[in-house]
Amino acid sequence: MNEKRGYITGILGGLIGGFIASVPWILMYVYGNMILSLLAIIIAIGVLKGYQICKGKIDNKLPVIIIVISLLCVTVSTLLIIPLLLLGKEGLEVSLQNLQTLYAYDQFMAAIMKDFAVSVIFTVLGISGVVANVKKQISEGAEGNITATIKEEKKEQKKEEMEEKSEDQEEDTKTEEHNEDSEKEEHDEEKKDNSSKETNKPKKTKKKKED
For 138-184, how does the pLDDT look when each residue is reduced to its tens digit (9 = 90+)?
776 644 455 455 455 556 666 776 777 777 677 767 676 666 666 66
Write the CA distances from 174 to 135, 160, 169, 185, 187, integer angstroms: 47, 21, 9, 16, 20
Residue 132's pLDDT band, with cuts at 50, 70 and 90, is confident
Q: In whole angstroms, what is the distance from residue 86 CA to residue 182 CA?
A: 86
Structural contact between residues 55 and 9, judged by C-beta atoms closer than 8 angstroms: yes
DSSP state at residue 194: H
**Mean per-residue pLDDT for 112-130?**
84
pLDDT tens digits for range 9-36: 999 999 999 999 999 989 888 888 777 7
Question: What's the whole-model pTM score?
Answer: 0.60
Residues 6+ apart with CB under 8 A from 80: 99
